[in-house]
Amino acid sequence: MRLTQEPVNPNPAFCDDAHAFARGAPGPRSRLGTLPPSFLALIAQIAATLLLLMVLAPVLGSLGVDLALISGVFVQGGLAAAIGISLGLAPWWLPINLLFVPTLAWALSFSLSPAWFLVAFFVLLLAYWSVFHSQVPLYLSSRKAWAAVAELLPAEPGFSLLDVGAGLGGMLYYLSIRRPDARFHGMEIAPLPFILAWLRRLARRGNYRVWWGDFWKHSLAAHDVVYAYLSPVPMAKLWVKACREMPPDSRFISNTFPVPDAEPEEIVELDDFHHSRLYVYRIPVRHTPDATP
């Protein structure tokens, strides 16, 4: 199950701020690229709809081609997906832009009460509370990931692990049973997953804690292992935060999404449904620039 990759550079990356930012921080973005992804997706939907109604449909009509509703909504979705990509949206926005209007048209065909749409909206809002600005959807770690993380934990008792996107809390419960000699913590910002994780802990009385909050505002200094299953978008920034705050020789583990331009100490093949990998990074000793001229 495990594949170990030797680092290209036997001396890991320095953890001083300048070097970490040089390796991990994203480059400058355009003014449009600084908008929240939700606004960019809305721009893509509006632009695609206007392009379809004001340009494409009249041109096809002048050629004697009648664009049916089912064809029109999928053409709109294709245009929205293409515009979204051109605006720099992350790849996982592509199916959302592609299927948003077709799905809406399909749902309206059932003549459902508007109350059902309102209920669905609030459920999705509770489940994906921060996804529109964080670009981190809800991912749930597989059981094989739980088992692999358990093998990567320090042998010494008393260590602390933080799951920065705890989801439903399944991995925390599993690890707390496997290693009752350690401390396990999780943070989740989406209300619905947090409530379910809290209820799971209450029902099973697991030896772990789950907090509702933003891990960006929480220091990583007290944790010997930090686990993340987020998305490609925040990995560079999170690596900088780990370098700044985590103790030297501690471990940062990322499921599926590697840190850009940073060599992992080890790569673990999970052989699960998604053929995922764990990227294991060890926080090196911090180096400060030489102050002598």
Residue 52: how many other CB atoms lie within 10 Å: 22
Alpha helices in 153-234 (DSSP H): 170-178, 191-204
pTM of the model: 0.66
| Structure tokens given for 229 | 């299953």
- What is the 3-state composition of the chain as percent helix, strand, coil, each rounded to the nearest 5? 45, 10, 40
Domain locations in the chain? 2-25+137-282, 32-111
Q: Half-sphere exposure (CA, 13 Å, Cβ side) for 13?
A: 25
Q: Where are the beta strands (DSSP E) in the chain?
A: 2-3, 160-163, 183-188, 209-212, 225-228, 251-255, 266-269, 277-282
- At position 87, the amino acid (one-letter code) is L
String of DSSP letters for 109-173: TTT--HHHHHHHHHHHHHHSTTHHHH--------HHHHHHHHHHS-SSTT-EEEETT-TTSHHHH
What would the CATH number be for the domain defined by 2-25+137-282?
A: 3.40.50.150
pLDDT in single tens digits along all 293 residues of the chain: 445 444 444 444 455 544 444 444 444 444 555 566 777 888 999 999 999 888 888 888 888 887 788 888 889 999 999 999 998 887 777 888 888 888 878 777 777 676 766 666 666 655 555 555 555 566 788 899 999 999 999 999 999 999 998 888 999 999 999 999 999 999 988 888 888 888 988 888 778 999 988 888 999 999 999 999 988 878 899 999 999 999 999 999 999 999 998 889 999 998 877 778 999 999 987 655 554 44
CB 287 within 8 A of CB 14: yes
